[in-house]
């Protein structure tokens, strides 16, 4: 019991320390490069890049919603349930609200009403792991730079029907705020009784999550074009570091949407391949665009909430 407590404490402590180190490192880079940072965009072609970045960020969110819907279907639910994708998209920006759990709460409540409590719990518990698996799967393409990147294939293996409860059990054991807020905990027998997984491996879901990451990266690379020399871009290297940094930002959820963690990791892992000032400007523009895409698509949900409260 004491050992378990310290394991949880160590994870939370590590998460918070890593978050603050990432934030301080990003701020340090920002201050160190302040004289070289300028967001003055003169050429009209860059407006086109910003538009395309925004468009691909919106499309990535749609793919994310499709993946969530297909997780529900893979867990044995009827595929004819309406509004799953739209509800996911509308609640996506709630991850920016303090504590970073309210998007899970809304989705759990919504699914519980139309399915059952256990399925609602498991879908929301495992969904980030699908994103992580897809992102690390793409990170493994960096094996040409370092053979250790092959280890990034491992999370995808545990998506197999016979192994997935190992991940679910581990996620439950962490009992982080995003899980304990549901005030529920289920055994493997309860999982097997309520969840009727339809296929041995969720290839379709993984492909959709891969498309989500790819479109997110394309949105980023258009921002990268604005501040970097196009003739000197190692796309595979940038892609590998992007996916790895995004994965770390997902694992360390101390900040809403991984703000600060993704940026700090990206700058650190890129090393001296590109000017830090250009990396910082690209990351800030991308963060603004991707967050704006989330907020724009979520606007109908918030407006509806406001009107409901007034009435």
> Where along the chain do its domains lie?
48-227+234-306
Residue for token digits 């830090």?
A: 276
Angle, CA 129 vertex, CA 292 and CA 27 arms, to 5°: 50
Which whole-number Å values give the CA distances from 184 to 73, 207, 297, in the listed order? 22, 30, 30
Supply the DSSP symbol for 201. S
Say what the pLDDT of residue 72 is.
92
Name 97's Cβ contacts closer than 8 Å, sequence gap at least 6: 256
pLDDT on residue 51: 92
| Rounded Cα distance, 69 and 90, in Å | 14
Which candidate, 28, 40, 176, 207, places its Cα nearest to that of 100? 176
What is the CB neighbour count within 10 angstroms for residue 51? 12
Question: What confidence score (pLDDT) does residue 227 get?
Answer: 85
What's the predicted TM-score (pTM) here? 0.87
Structure tokens belonging to residue 150: 């092959």
Residue 310: the pLDDT is: 61
Task: Dump strand ranges (E) for 260-309.
Answer: none
Question: Residue 305 has what pLDDT?
Answer: 64
Please state, in angstroms and rounded to a whole number, the distance separating the CA atoms of residues 149 and 135: 12
Per-residue confidence in pLDDT tens, the chain, 311 aa: 444 554 555 666 777 787 778 878 888 888 888 777 776 666 666 778 899 999 999 999 999 999 999 999 998 887 677 788 888 988 887 777 766 677 888 888 888 888 888 888 888 889 999 999 999 999 999 999 999 999 999 999 999 988 888 888 877 766 555 555 555 666 667 676 677 888 899 999 999 999 999 999 999 999 998 888 777 788 999 999 999 999 998 887 656 667 788 999 999 999 888 888 889 999 999 999 998 998 888 877 667 766 666 66
Q: Are 258 and 202 in contact (CB under 8 A)?
A: no
Q: Which helix (H) or strand (E) holds 19?
A: helix 2-32
């Amino acid at each position: 019991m004491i050992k378990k407590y310290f394991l949880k404490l160590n994870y939370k402590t590590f998460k918070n320390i890593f978050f603050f180190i990432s934030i301080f490192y990003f701020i340090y880079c920002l201050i160190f490069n302040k004289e070289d940072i300028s967001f003055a965009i003169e050429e009209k072609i860059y407006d086109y890049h910003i538009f395309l970045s925004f468009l691909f960020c919106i499309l990535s969110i749609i793919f994310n919603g499709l993946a969530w819907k297909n997780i529900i279907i893979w867990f044995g639910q009827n595929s004819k349930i309406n509004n799953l994708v739209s509800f996911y998209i509308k609640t996506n920006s709630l991850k920016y609200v303090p504590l970073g759990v309210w998007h899970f709460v809304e989705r759990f409540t919504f699914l519980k009403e139309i399915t059952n409590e256990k399925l609602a719990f498991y879908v929301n518990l495992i969904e980030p792991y699908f994103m992580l698996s897809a992102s690390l799967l793409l990170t493994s393409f960096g094996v040409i730079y370092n053979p250790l990147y092959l280890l990034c294939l491992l999370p995808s293996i545990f998506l197999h029907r016979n192994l997935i409860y190992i991940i679910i059990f581990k996620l439950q054991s962490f009992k982080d705020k995003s899980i304990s807020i549901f005030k529920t905990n289920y055994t493997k027998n309860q999982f097997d009784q309520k969840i009727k997984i339809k296929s041995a491996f969720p290839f379709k879901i993984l492909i959709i999550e891969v498309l989500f990451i790819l479109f997110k990266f394309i949105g980023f690379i258009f921002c990268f074009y604005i501040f970097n020399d196009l003739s000197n871009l190692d796309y595979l290297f940038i892609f590998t570091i992007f996916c790895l940094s995004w994965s770390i930002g997902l694992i360390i959820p101390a900040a809403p949407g991984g703000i600060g963690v993704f940026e700090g990791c990206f700058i650190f892992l890129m090393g001296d391949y590109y000017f830090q000032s250009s990396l910082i400007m690209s990351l800030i523009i991308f963060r603004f665009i991707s967050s704006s895409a989330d907020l724009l698509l979520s606007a109908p949900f918030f407006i509806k909430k406001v009107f409901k409260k007034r009435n």
